[in-house]
Structure 1
């Protein structure tokens, strides 16, 4: 049955009405909800707010490095320290390393540009911060519905957004309602704020419907892959922030890494690969595993005898928006707004987006509160983008507007020009560099590229995908339809495998896609959707844009307890 058939047979859906509906229970969505309730309390007014979160709990799907600039959190909660916000590890030292295959050069700290400096910041678990924000939101009267995925945007007769519908539950693989079927629910609001994170499923639809990206550079993405390790106290330096560039990336491929020394002898290790890479044989997951074998990296995980003594305790992956200010779409449309990484506010030069998510969530909330309480609920929230344009966040992003674009000329030119702009000119350059292609369009045919031979994992320092997915706690109801859909089932073999050597088997960090032989010896694409960690890489990098990520049943996906 099609969704329309199900609705016709089992509908109408029940509906609930609120002043503001928020899609996504991450830092952006929760900050928006909190700010709405703060304003209502301050002004003695009533505003009803609901937050939909597709994860099993707030924070379950949140993955980031992360070093937090607390500026926007301080604006939201000036007394966050006294309130017990989980910012327990201040940055104490930092290092920027340029790696060759066997060595490293450290940039003296006095030569680090402002965007690379982290004094005053905190190494945190964004998942823990999200859970804390959710508690503050509930204390203020926000309704939070975890395990409910917003699957459909609802429009009124004039074409304005009027809310969202959650996905149906209990649909079986054949598309038919099963014995535990429950039809979705409609949540209607005067405004709907979309805070789904990078490459949001509904945000992508809204950008296309309202042409919000007209005149913008194409959005650019990276895939960030992260592991959390518990290490020997002798190799742990609480508060140390290390970033690296160079090896194992070649000069044409954007990439970099981080080691963040958290509290309790834990180190977050991560690797970001720009999804505008050209070689279809490249595997971001394997590049990350290879990076860990560098002497300057593995030292933290080994003893003096070269034995791995650290323990890997968590794994995850997530796409990040990297296009910056020049790829930022219009953030408002009839009936709603995009905030945080759903729009693309991450500052790639700082490798930070949480502070921007909190700030833009607050700005959208302030605009929506004013419109709702002054009887202008039909107006577009133009006060939100205006507030952004007048804020410190715009100034910050404007300084870094060329950061990612320079790397289209190679790592050498990108590093040199960003050094000039950020250190020499302090971000006050008179020129602007544009990008003109989406990430998937950079992939070259396999015939023009050299295969990459990656070493086999040793199970101690380096690992395979499936053992990694296991510790991401990824789980989906196996009998539901696959949420990784194909526009044309023939394309993966006829084009992707034939022309690009099947890149989906390599760019996915969870082993979801595999080319296998059928009973007649013909190639076919096997999709193990239950392994999906919701990183959205396939939706971004598929060279034919044939893969479309849609929401699975609410509550499915990874569970990043400490990430």
Structure 2
């Protein structure tokens, strides 16, 4: 909407996203130069509302940012005390001895945390330094000055559905404001809408492998079991996933008889009948998990896509006027299931590069130093060491990933090089989906309401809310494709891959109809990633809408 007249505000640095990357960048900028004007825009109702992570936090990033974090009351209260890995069968289990695991997989020295609460604490640290933080502020588009990103449009409200892709201004329309900066940091997390625009506009992924993703689903439970042990970390692979699908589960024991229970499904699975949420619910019925949860109660639920492409898929991180931070670029170490430490380090590095450029009068220059330090420093070393685990798993299955991938990680650890080089990922996750005719439907057990739950019931435990009068933020490039193409060819997998029940195929006398229940959306971005026709575009809804995760 280039013809809309908007007021503007000017800052030295504009940061989009109140996760660990954006907050670390904001704090480091003000540590380096208290006179810099820094603003952080967060689409959630508060900082932390949209943060969903495992999470076992490697404190390396926090140590670099705020060395005295413990004295300042950071919510890292549960150090890891026990670390175990299992391969599951339908009723049995096999433990992988810790001594054969590469040292990088050791979680001792890390902390089980609510990453949402860590971000809430980081926000208080940022505000004490003078960072302006505006929650409930969705950013709808990039502001351009020639070929340079000069800011973002924030706080646009009041559009109404009119049958078009964008919607139309309604009677209470507010055009929002141009928030301009000498540098713009995009820290939106996985598959952020503005980050996707920047990657496409500047061809930042040229020469890289396609980004790969997983869908992570997580519940917070209160348990009444003698098996509860604060600091205990458990990871699983194998059952209930079958051949052609990868992923695994986790259980993290917090204080106060609480545990995080979660499951990740790699989104390169081939069978369009696979139902990731159903796999998660079935996982909790394995005896290893059920004996802990029986008698307890689930108190929160959420879901989020996870970057899994790693080193091979890391795009160029800089563009005219700005940078990509953290999961906007894809800095997750897949076998460790950790990205928060790298996100924080990326924010620190970007802040240092921007402050140096501004101090030297180089406003708007490409921050090539940032890209270089990410690739050659701690983040690059972390990602290179595990570069082949994901592609080996995708090509050859779980056991090859454990054996050959483990050997490759040991080689990286001991010799600082891989005997395989960097194995290619190949297809995108959307392209990995095969026609339904090649597969049989998968029968999933009915939820029992004690250990397993239906999607709609669980979404109620995510605090999700969207204004129903706004245009759906889940856009179809071609409204005919779900029924005309995806249904006959792929049995319309959107009705299964979405962990919140957003998409339905409704049978009517005139034939099937594709329905989007956007009010259910927990902002996981899976539809934007996995739709085999690449017909669904996730955009940011009205500011403050979406999940409101407590202690997640």
Same fold (TM over 0.5): yes
Is 1:524 paired with 2:510?
A: no
Is 1:418 paired with 2:405?
A: yes
Give the deviation of 1:425 after TM superposition: 5.3
What is the SS of the residue equivalent to 2:305? strand
1:374-453 to structure 2, matched below 5 A, reads: 374-407=360-393, 408-423=395-410, 426=413, 428-431=417-420, 432-453=422-443
| Structure-1 separation of matches of 2:364 and 2:160 | 39
Answer with 388-397 or 168-177: which moved more.
168-177
Please report the TM-score for the alignment, with normalisation by the length of structure 2: 0.97
What is the SS of the residue equivalent to 1:30? helix
- Contact 2:305 / 2:525 at 8 angstroms: preserved in 1? yes
1:181-200 to structure 2, matched below 5 A, reads: 181-200=173-192
Q: Which residue does 1:306 correspond to in 2?
A: none
Correspondent of 1:23 among 16, 22, 29? 16
- Contact 1:95 / 1:243 at 8 angstroms: preserved in 2? yes
Give the deviation of 1:415 after TM superposition: 1.9
Change (3 A) 1:176 1:210: closer
What is the SS of the residue equivalent to 1:524? strand
RMSD between aligned residues:
1.2
| Structure-1 separation of matches of 2:209 and 2:175 | 39
Answer with 361-370 or 422-431: which moved more.
422-431
What is the SS of the residue equivalent to 1:368? helix
Give the deviation of 1:396 after TM superposition: 1.4
| Structure-2 separation of matches of 1:177 and 1:37 | 38
Is 1:155 paired with 2:147?
A: no
Correspondent of 1:80 among 45, 69, 75? 69
Task: Please list every run of 5 or more consecutive structure 1 residues that lacks an aligned counterpart in the other structure.
Answer: 303-308
Is 1:314 paired with 2:303?
A: no
Is 1:458 paired with 2:448?
A: yes
1:68-147 to structure 2, matched below 5 A, reads: 68-147=57-136
Give the deviation of 1:252 after TM superposition: 2.1
Correspondent of 2:492 among 483, 502, 509? 502
- Contact 1:235 / 1:301 at 8 angstroms: preserved in 2? no
What is the SS of the residue equivalent to 1:258? strand
Give the deviation of 1:392 after TM superposition: 1.8
Is 1:247 paired with 2:233?
A: no
| Structure-2 separation of matches of 1:255 and 1:390 | 29
Q: Deviations over 1:264-304 (max 9, x none)?
A: 111100000000000000011000001111011101012xx
Aligned residues: 544
Q: Which residue does 1:36 correspond to in 2?
A: 29
Q: Deviations over 1:364-393 (max 9, x none)?
A: 011011111210013100110122233222
| Structure-2 separation of matches of 1:423 and 1:331 | 29
Q: Which residue does 2:315 correspond to in 1?
A: 329
| Structure-1 separation of matches of 2:111 and 2:21 | 18
| Structure-2 separation of matches of 1:363 and 1:430 | 30
Is 1:357 paired with 2:343?
A: yes
Q: Deviations over 1:431-473 (max 9, x none)?
A: 2211121110000000001110000001111000000100100
- Contact 1:152 / 1:167 at 8 angstroms: preserved in 2? no
Give the deviation of 1:235 after TM superposition: 2.4
Q: Which residue does 1:228 correspond to in 2?
A: 220
| Structure-1 separation of matches of 2:412 and 2:367 | 35
Give the deviation of 1:414 after TM superposition: 1.8
Q: Which residue does 2:459 correspond to in 1?
A: 469
Is 1:548 paired with 2:537?
A: yes
What is the SS of the residue equivalent to 2:71? helix
| Structure-1 separation of matches of 2:300 and 2:118 | 17
Give the deviation of 1:420 after TM superposition: 1.2
- Contact 1:281 / 1:506 at 8 angstroms: preserved in 2? yes
| Structure-2 separation of matches of 1:99 and 1:438 | 28
1:270-349 to structure 2, matched below 5 A, reads: 270-302=262-294, 309-349=295-335
| Structure-1 separation of matches of 2:503 and 2:513 | 10
Give the deviation of 1:397 after TM superposition: 1.1
- Contact 2:411 / 2:418 at 8 angstroms: preserved in 1? no
Q: Deviations over 1:490-529 (max 9, x none)?
A: 00001111100010000000000000023x3311100000
| Structure-1 separation of matches of 2:390 and 2:52 | 22
- Contact 2:209 / 2:424 at 8 angstroms: preserved in 1? yes
Q: Deviations over 1:57-110 (max 9, x none)?
A: 000000000000001100000100000000000000011000000100111221
- Contact 1:25 / 1:52 at 8 angstroms: preserved in 2? yes
Give the deviation of 1:233 after TM superposition: 4.7
What is the SS of the residue equivalent to 1:234? coil
Give the deviation of 1:176 after TM superposition: 4.0
Is 1:562 paired with 2:551?
A: yes
| Structure-1 separation of matches of 2:499 and 2:177 | 33
Q: Which residue does 2:256 correspond to in 1?
A: 264
Task: Please list every run of 5 or more consecutive structure 2 residues that lacks an aligned counterpart in the other structure.
Answer: none
What is the SS of the residue equivalent to 1:428? coil
What is the SS of the residue equivalent to 1:211? coil
Please report the TM-score for the alignment, with normalisation by the length of structure 1: 0.95
